[in-house]
Chain A
Amino acid sequence: MTDLMPVLTDTWDADRSWKLAAYEAAGGYAGLRKALATEPGDLVQTVKASGLRGRGGAGFPTGMKWGFLPPPDGGPRYLVVNADESEPGTCKDIPLMLASPQHLVEGIAITSYAIGCHHAFVYVRGEVLHVYRRLLAAVQEAYDAGYLGKDVLGSGFDLDVTVHAGAGAYICGEETALLDSLEGKRGQPRLKPPFPAVAGLYARPTVVNNVESIASVPGIVAHGADWFAGMGTEKSQGHGLFSLSGHVTRPGQYEAPLGITLRELLDLAGGIRAGHELKFWTPGGSSTPLFTADHLDTPLDYESVGAAGSMLGTRALQLFDDSTCVVRAVSRWTDFYAHESCGKCTPCREGTYWLKQVLHRIEAGQGEERDVDLLLDLCDNILGRAFCALGDGATSPVTSSIQLFRDEYQAHIDGHGCPFDPSASALFPYTPKQSPALAGAGGH
């Protein structure tokens, strides 16, 4: 049995947990003081040794990413924190910044010191205005306390932090699109190479890291790489936030070592909605292939989830019970991807537009015999053909749901309609809209 491991969430229940005083009372900023007395290169080495991997979804080793920066040339280099959390189901960074923003601020200070950055940026999703305001207040508190600004804690190290609100585009979570957006341009992914480590923000060496990754750094520095590496599994070390949502008794954030299983998490969360069985779930957000009850004991680490055919992603566990129509769920996700496709490349722009219409037709009972194979072939023409990973992500729910629930698709086609009652799966009183099939077709 794996226990919860509250690190970032430890003080969320404290009085006014988001204030600097609460953070300091729990030992906050010990990591920064220790870091400022350490050689920057040693800090990079510590993070490498801790085994911390990017918590934004891809799982790239964070210390290695820092190590890609070219040697200092006297010009500026930047840290950009990706706080554009927008994936359906993913809801870890926003609560973290809301409940305990100083974890992130301290992490920014330590990381900036480690990589020689004097101006860091936080690109926060624009829709979450309350988080934006809380971050602004947190950064101001840190400035006032001397953790940011000129001569941080008397060390001679200068650091400015700019919190920037995006304008509401999923694509801006893609790191190069984020950089373009931060520069004031249209948010679309850049051609790589050059990679951000070489030419990122304003064409200068730039590290782009996820909120949770950076927020994990103070603990690593304060407690040591071994402390962090001691958690989790061999190749997926440390703690992570697991976000349970959907048909679960107690949805929320569960912080635990990587490698915990959904069965364990469900025990902690009170199980699936009373009277129902788990039907399918996403291990890492809507862009990761679906799992079913067969995967309840799959350790939630990068390797095990990958070996089981999905991705750990952002550990956004969306749980769907037996009242849910998989076609309907996938159709809604696809609506999201069609809406959020940036439009740059053909497969994602046109492919999601097409997928959306086919799924709406099937759901409305207007599907044709060939439609399921068409969906699979369309996904094959998008996956790996798009400019960035967003196009790939859009195909995951479609492909995996057909693999797992092809009969259910067929039932929609054969029965000329959806066999499920939409209100049964709702957690609140719900009246379905009229003719959902054509609402999105060709619509703008």
Chain B
Amino acid sequence: MTATTDKSTAAAPPVETVTLTIDEVEVTVPKGTLIIRAAEQVGIEIPRFCDHPLLEPAGACRQCLVEVAMPDREGNVRPMPKPQASCTMTVTPGMVVKTQRTSPVADKAQHGVMELLLMNHPLDCPVCDKGGECPLQNQAMSNGRAETRFEDVKRTFPKPIAVSTEILLDRERCVLCQRCTRFGEEIAGDAFIALQERGAHQQIGRFDETVLDFAPPPQGEPAEATFGSAAVTAGGQPFASYFSGNTVQICPVGALTGAAYRFRSRPFDLVSTPGISEHDSCGSAIRVDHRRGVVLRRLSGEDPAVNEEWITDKDRFAFTWQAAPDRLTTPLVRDRVLDAHGAVVSRGELRPASWVEAFELAAEGLAAARAAGGVGVLPGGRLTVEDAFAWSRFARTVLGTDDVDQRARVGSAEETAFLGHAVAGTGVGVTFGDVEAAPAVLLAGLEAEEEAGVTFLRLRKGVRAHGTRVWSVAPFASRGLARLDGELLPAAPGTEAEWLGILATRAAGGLVPADSDAAALGAVADGLAAPGALILVGERLASSPGAFAATLRLAEATGARVAWIPRRAGERGGVEAGLLPGLLPGGRPLTDPAARAEVAAAWAVDADALPVAPGRDVAEILDALSVGQLGGALVGGVELADLPDPEHARRALADAGFVVSLEVRTTEVVALADVVLPVAPPAERPGSYWNWEGRVRAFGQALESAALPDHRVLDALAAQAGVDLGSATPLDAHRAIAALPSWGGARLPAPVGEAVEPPEVPPGSAVLASWHLLLDDGALQDGEQFLAGTAKRPVARMSAATAAAVDVYDGDRVTVATDRGSVTVPVAITEMVDHVVWLPLASRGCRVHDTLGAAPGDLVRISPVVEPAETASGVSTSSTGTNEQGGAA
């Protein structure tokens, strides 16, 4: 945990500067700086609305007018005849700028514009969400007239427009600065609102037949139904954006508001705590605003190195899960019902218990389970670094096991090797800045917009600024890839390794198969050979045998750097902490005696006390629990439905001798546990995540709470077993982490694996492709109905040929089935690899793992739905029972 800043790259060339005078103060700034920014350098604030440092200049609001004089060819400083917009004009040498502080002309111009902005603005500040933190309100006070002269008729609009279920627009408050529309075009690339009409009637709006004077909408269909959760385009996408909440934050007035926060609070009643989003591995800086122990909203924090000023809607709006009604507040224990001989008759019911009793029972039960074959440890992928180290140490010392795996998703031994070889203990590697600056980026098994939203934004920034070339190995070109001007390297799920392997061969100068696309191969291989090129791999690559091995070969052959971008916030930290079988903290191989000795010393245990053989992964732990090889399980924040075969997991935990669950809320694991120890959600404890860059992202405790973080609970549980885990307090936890020096020894050997041939696809079948959408049925989005309304409805994507083979057409409903169950969703014909069907992995009405028991790369059956489409929702799920044998194929 040492690297917290960007690695300094090669010495930057000296910046060309310009010297000018602003309000009689001389200032030197880099060439190309806007006057308004140069003024900020000397502490002069010029009022502004449309200006935003991360958006291109617009010059629309005219609030920032200043007087400018410039030297002519003879060097005589000549004033420009009109005041100039300081947000659009760049500085020139010798320029003399007079702002409102020294120029009566500029001051009058600003007062005049402010009066014009206010004349049609409603005086509803007392009920406006923005009141108290409103740039219009503030600057009207600092740079406006005390009284208006406008006594005529104000422009009004019916209020408000629901841009989506999440975003509301009060048009009469809008000052038409275009920040929101420019954000949509320039940053997110998914413009969902635009300017309409003209003159005083100009307004921001979404596509609306009545405003735009199009033909009236079909009878019986209200105009509002075309938007929000109900409206779905032909491609299965709602007319909404994953980044729409940013427009609310940058709106300089109260025109755009979030439905969840609207009318809930006054800004001056809120307490703000800087935080880090728990929703993905980007480590986005956020601000948690709370009042009297309740989180009311979250905003984007400012971190130029990571998320700049943008976050996803999930980061912003999905926080109610932390205070859901099913929150666990006390420990729970299960009293087993015994017969006269002491045999278990039934497992009994969970009842509240004291911490003391719960710790005692948990310690006893775990000790017994350890004696009865061992304890499997499933910590989940959402832990803070402090928790992850405590979990790792608890497993290896208290439980004496290496059967520990954080992956509540599809994983593989090859992935474990890759993480141990190339990721763990490598510190800060590729950074967001590198992503922005990269000349070429290959995405492999990573849907950046869905899985790492702000990484997508940073990538897009590079694409727009200097034309980063982007390729994606995936079954189809997503809307996100299109907005990166990216090219698709089409691959059926499971065969991503083929592309990576051939690319590696091509880059190394080897012979590539005659039937491969030589032009595409050459372009990618040459692109990745450029200095600064990157390969970004996602969690989905674990379902493609040989893909990690090929990725490393490709990186070596091209010189491109590799970054692993997992989905969950805790996964990178978990890799560092050793929450994978065979991997000790800091990238130390478990099988290395020197590594074990270092860890044992830091943990103050005998080297012999640590396990010596690599343990089981998730699937193997569940298998062992099922057959009684393991005596019990210690489970963290794991949703069983997220596992590749949830049914298998449910049976395994039901059959397990003893289960201890550390959970925030009542989950399926809680229902199967013998002892439940409640832990604190992120808002109620301090901690830190390691984001995918390897950067430490520390956050403070927002709410006062009696809830305990995982590391504290585990420390107490260890104490019960007579072991000092050294993680009673956050400070202790940090010291315990810091006690481990960085590892200089051998790392895990590079992953090995060969690409496999795609399976034969019999008629009526297809290979399943699937990944998580940003907004889906995930537990961390519970309780936020407005956000849920902007989620994409599930569709089955398939090529026209695949659809024709089973006689379905675009918009038809299709049933995707395995022996386990089936989902029925509308078809979206997509230009994609044949014999492949794509489903969202865990959307409402389409839980692929849970319902189908299938994982990407598996064969599934597809068939048309014969009955007339009566269910308006278009989505239905059925399960053919829970007793069938067999896991994911």
* Segment of B199-207, B472-480, B824-832, B864-872 in the binding face: B199-207
A353 within 8 A of B: yes
Q: Which of A94-102, A119-127, A194-202, A384-392 contacts B (4 or more CB under 8 A)?
A: A384-392
A343, A357, A381, A384: which contacts B195 (Cβ < 8 A)?
A343
Cβ-based interface call for B292 (8 A): no
Q: Which residues of A contact B280 (CB under 8 A)?
A: none
B62 pairs with A385, CB closer than 8 A: yes
Query: Which of B82, B115, B199 has the most chain A CB atoms inside 10 A of its CB?
Result: B199
Stretch at the interface among A65-73, A226-234, A239-247, A344-352: A344-352
- Report chain A residues within 8 Å CB of B61: 345-346
Contact B59 A191 (CB under 8 A): yes
Q: Which of A345, A381, A385 contacts B60 (CB 8 A)?
A: A345
Q: Which of B148-156, B593-601, B878-886 contacts A (4 or more CB under 8 A)?
A: B148-156
Contact in complex: A349, B65 (CB < 8 Å): no
B675 within 8 A of A: no
Q: Assess whether B198 is in contact with A354, with CB atoms less than 8 Å apart.
A: no
Partner of B116, one of A169, A351, A374, A444: A351
Whether the pair B120, A384 counts as a contact (CB closer than 8 A) is no
Interface residues of A in 351-390 (CB under 8 A from B): 351-354, 357-358, 361, 370, 374, 377, 380-382, 384-387
The B-contacting residues of A in range 324-352, CB under 8 angstroms, are 338-347, 349-352
The reply to whether A346 and B113 form a contact with Cβ atoms under 8 Å apart is yes
Other-chain contact of A357, B59, B152, B156 (Cβ < 8 Å): B152
| Pair B62/A346 contact, Cβ less than 8 Å | yes
A184, CB-defined interface residue at 8 Å: no
The contact string, 1 if C-beta is below 8 Å from chain A, for chain B 58-90, is 111111010000000000000001110000100
A343-B202 contact in complex given A191-B59, A350-B117, A374-B149, C-beta closer than 8 Å: yes
In the complex, whether B197 has a CB less than 8 A from a CB of chain A is yes
Give the docked Cα–Cα distance between A171 and B199 (Å): 10
Closest to B117 in A: A346
* A338, A354, A370: the one within 8 Å of B199 (CB): A338
Does residue A441 face the partner (Cβ distance < 8 Å to B)? Answer: yes
From A342, which residue of chain B is reached at the shortest CB distance?
B198
Is there contact, CB below 8 Å, between A341 and B199?
Answer: yes
In the complex formed, the residue of B with least CB distance to A357 is B152
- Chain A residues with Cβ below 8 Å from B194 are 186
Say whether A341 contacts B115, CB under 8 Å. Answer: no
Chain A, Cβ-Cβ closest to B196? A186
Q: Which residues of B contact A382 (CB under 8 A)?
A: 112
Which residues in A have their C-beta under 8 angstroms from that of B149? 370, 374
> Is the pair B117, A385 in contact by a Cβ cutoff of 8 Å?
no
Q: Is the interface of A mostly helix, strand, loop or mixed?
A: helix
- Pick from A186, A346, A370, A377: contact of B63, CB below 8 A: A346
Shortest beta-carbon distance from A346 to chain B in Å: 5
Smallest CB separation, B23 vs chain A (Å): 20
Query: Do A191 and B88 touch across chains, with their CB atoms under 8 A apart?
Result: yes
Let me know if B175 is at the binding interface, CB within 8 A: yes
B202 neighbours in A (Cβ, 8 Å): 342-344, 349
With a cutoff of 8 Å between Cβ atoms, the chain A residues found around residue B117 in the complex are 346, 350
Contact, CB under 8 Å: B58 / A442:
no
Residues of A within 8 A of B152 (CB): 354, 357-358, 361, 441-442
A353's partner among B83, B88, B175, B199 (CB-CB below 8 A) is B199
Contact of A191 among B57, B63, B65, B154 (CB under 8 A): B57
Given contacts A169-B198, A340-B199, contact A349 B155 (CB under 8 A): no
By a CB distance below 8 angstroms, the chain B residues around A186 are 194-195
Q: With an 8 A cutoff between CB atoms, is B119 at the interface?
A: yes
With A and B bound together, what is the CA distance between A346 and B156 in angstroms?
Answer: 17
Q: A342-B199, A384-B83, A385-B83 are in contact. Are A353 and B120 (CB under 8 A)?
A: yes
* Tally of contacts, chain A with chain B, CB under 8 A: 107
In the bound assembly, the distance between CA atoms of A105 and B108 in angstroms comes to 48
Per-residue A-contact encoding for B25-67, CB less than 8 Å = 1, 0 else: 0000000000000000000000000000000011111110100
B109 at the interface (CB under 8 A from A): yes
Provide the bound-state CA to CA distance between A347 and B62, in Å. 8
**Minimal Cβ-Cβ distance residue in A for B115:** A381
Contacts of A358 in B (CB 8 A): 152
Set of chain A residues within 8 Å of B198, measured between Cβ atoms? 169, 171, 340-343
Whether A350 and B197, one on each chain, are in contact in the complex, defined by CB atoms closer than 8 angstroms, is: no
* C-alpha spacing A382/B119, complex, angstroms: 14
Look across to chain A and name the residue whose beta carbon is closest to the beta carbon of B203: A343
Beta-carbon contact of A343 and B197 below 8 Å:
yes
Contact across chains for A385 and B200 when beta carbons are under 8 A apart: no
Q: Does B162 contact A (CB under 8 A)?
A: no
Q: A346 — which chain B residues lie within 8 A by C-beta?
A: 60-63, 113, 116-117, 175-176
Whole-angstrom distance between the alpha carbons of A345 and B198 in the complex?
11
A349 B153 Cβ-Cβ under 8 A: no
Contact B116 A354 (CB under 8 A): yes
How far does the Cβ of B212 sit from chain A's closest Cβ, in whole Å? Answer: 12
- Residues of A near B57 (CB, < 8 A) are 191
Q: Within 8 Å CB of A377, what residues of B?
A: 112
**Residues of B contacting A353 with CB < 8 Å?**
120, 155, 199-200
B217 → chain A closest CB, angstroms? 21
- Residues of the A chain whose Cβ atoms lie less than 8 Å from the Cβ of B82: 384-385
Known: A341-B199, A343-B200, A374-B149. A387 touches B116 (CB 8 A): no
Q: Can you report 20 A-B residue pairs in the complex whose CB atoms are below 8 A from each other?
A: A169-B198, A186-B195, A343-B201, A344-B202, A347-B62, A347-B112, A347-B113, A349-B199, A349-B200, A350-B119, A350-B120, A352-B199, A352-B200, A354-B116, A354-B152, A385-B62, A386-B62, A387-B59, A387-B60, A442-B155
A340-B198, A347-B113, A349-B200 known; 18 new pairs, CB 8 Å cut-off, are: A169-B198, A343-B199, A343-B201, A345-B60, A346-B175, A346-B176, A347-B112, A349-B199, A350-B119, A352-B199, A353-B200, A354-B116, A354-B150, A377-B112, A381-B108, A381-B115, A381-B116, A382-B112
